[in-house]
Structure 1
Amino acid sequence: MSGRANSAESGGGAQANAPLTERGARTREKVLVAAREVFEERGFPDTRVAHIAHRAQVAYGSFYTYFPSKEAVFLEVADRLFAEMTDRGGVPASGASPAARIRRSNRSYYEGYLRNAKMMAIVEQVATFNEEFQELRRKHRATSITRTAGAIRRWQRDGLVPDDLDAEMTARALAAMIDHSLYLWIVQGDDTPDTQRLLDTLDALTHRALGLPDS
C-alpha cells in the first residue's frame, strides 16, 4: 500500500485549501485533536473518517472541508508530533558543556517520547507502508541529524571530539541507538531495569562514542 494511492474515503480535497475563518480554524483544530485520539485508540488501518468526524462532533462531509483524506490528517498529526519530539527548547545554551547538552537532550527526547508513546507506536506502524509518511519522517530526522552533526563539528573544532569521526554518520548512528532504545523501552515494554539506568547508559555510550568525558 502506498501513501500516494487514492484513499477510498477521499473527497472534497479542493475545499481543504480554502482560506479558513476563525471559526473554521477552530473546527479544523478540533478535527486534528479528534484524529489523534482515534488513531491512538484504533490504529491507522482501522480508523475511518467517520470515526474522526464523530469524535470531533462534526458532520462527516465537514471533515473534507479541512482534509482531503484520512492520510492527510494523519500526516499533519505526525508532522506536529515530530516537531514536538525534536524541539530543543529545554536543552542548555551552546555555552553548556557537551556532557550537559547531551544529558538534557536525551532526557528531553525521552520525556517527549513518553508523552507521545501511543502515537509513536502508530508512527512505527505507518512507516512500514506509507511513502508520504516515510518522506515526512525522513525530513524531520534529517533536521535533527543536521543539528547534532553541527554540534559534533563544533566540538571537533574545539578539540573535544576526534577529527577522524564522520560527524553526520556519527549523528545518524547515535540517533538510531537512542531512538530504538526508547522505542523498545517505552512502546514495546522491554524489560529494562529502570529508566534512570537506561538514560545514564545512553548518556555514557554517547560520551564514549564521541571520545568525551562522562561529566
Structure 2
Amino acid sequence: MAEEATLTERGVRTRERLIQAAREIFEEMGFLDARVGHITRRAKVAYGTFYTYFDSKEAVFREIADRLFTDMTEPGRLPLRGASPAERVRRANRSYYEAYLRNARMMAIIEQVATFNEEFREMRRRHRATSVGRSAHAIRRWQGEGLVAAGLDAEMAAHALAAMVDHALYLRLVQGDGDDTERFLDTLDALAIRALGLEERT
C-alpha cells in the first residue's frame, strides 16, 4: 500500500501535511462531500502527490480515525500508585473528556461514517473494546480487593459505564447539550463510583 512505503524526512513531512489537511477538510465538509482535490489544495501539494502516500480518501480517513482513537484511549493517564479507585475513576473520566473535547468535531464525522461503513464501525468497536477491557480489568482487581461486589459482571459493568460516558460526551460536545462542565463531570463521576459501590476516600 502507498502509505507503507519507506519515506524520506521530506516525505514524512508531506504525509503529515496531507493528514492535517484531510482532517481539516473532513471536519469542515464531512466525509461524503470531501474530495482528494480539496485535501491537496489545503495541503498545497500536487493532486498526484496524495497517491504517493495514500490509496484513497478512505485510507487517509482511516489513519486519522486510528490516531484519534489511540489518543482517546491512551493508557497511562491514571494517578500514581496509592490513588483510590474513586480517584482513578475521576481522573479517567476527566482525561477522556479532555481527549473528546480535542477531537469532538472529528468524532462527529467518524460516528456518522461508522453508520454506513463496516470497516470504520469495526475500528470503532476494536478501540472501544481495548478501553472497556482495561476498565473491566480494574473492576476485577477491585473485586479481588473487596472494594466492588463480587457478583457484579465486570465486563458488562465496564461496557455500561463506557456507553454512559460516551453518549453523555457526544450529546454535550457534539450536540452542544449543556454548559456547566464541572457539574456535568462531577455527576458522571458520582454515577460511576456509586454504580460500582466504591467508597470515596476522604
TM-score (structure 2 length as normaliser)? 0.96
> Which position in structure 2 is the counterpart of 1:136?
123
> Which position in structure 2 is the counterpart of 1:36?
23
Correspondence 1:72 to 2:55: no
The answer to whether the Cα contact below 8 Å between 1:204 and 1:214 also exists between their aligned partners in 2 is no
Identity %: 69
Runs of 4+ that moved beyond 2 A:
14-18
Gaps spanning 5+ residues in structure 2: where?
Answer: none
Partner of residue 184 from structure 2, selected from 190, 198, 209: 198
SS in 1 for 2:152: coil
The answer to whether the Cα contact below 8 Å between 1:88 and 1:105 also exists between their aligned partners in 2 is no
Correspondence 1:101 to 2:88: yes
Following superposition, the deviation at residue 16 of structure 1 comes to 3.7
| Residues 1-215 of structure 1 aligned to structure 2 (within 5 Å) | 14-190=1-177, 192=178, 194-215=180-201
Count the aligned residue pairs.
201
Following superposition, the deviation at residue 65 of structure 1 comes to 0.6
Amino acid across the alignment from 1:198:
F
Gaps spanning 5+ residues in structure 1: where?
Answer: 1-13
- 1 or 2, which has the higher helix percentage? 2
Following superposition, the deviation at residue 162 of structure 1 comes to 0.3
The answer to whether the Cα contact below 8 Å between 1:88 and 1:108 also exists between their aligned partners in 2 is no
Q: Distance in 2 between matches of 1:15 and 1:38?
A: 21
Aligned-CA RMSD value: 1.2
TM-score (structure 1 length as normaliser)? 0.90
Q: 1:160-192, CA deviations, whole angstroms, 9 ceiling, x for partnerless residues? A: 0001111111100000000000100111011x3
Amino acid across the alignment from 1:170:
A
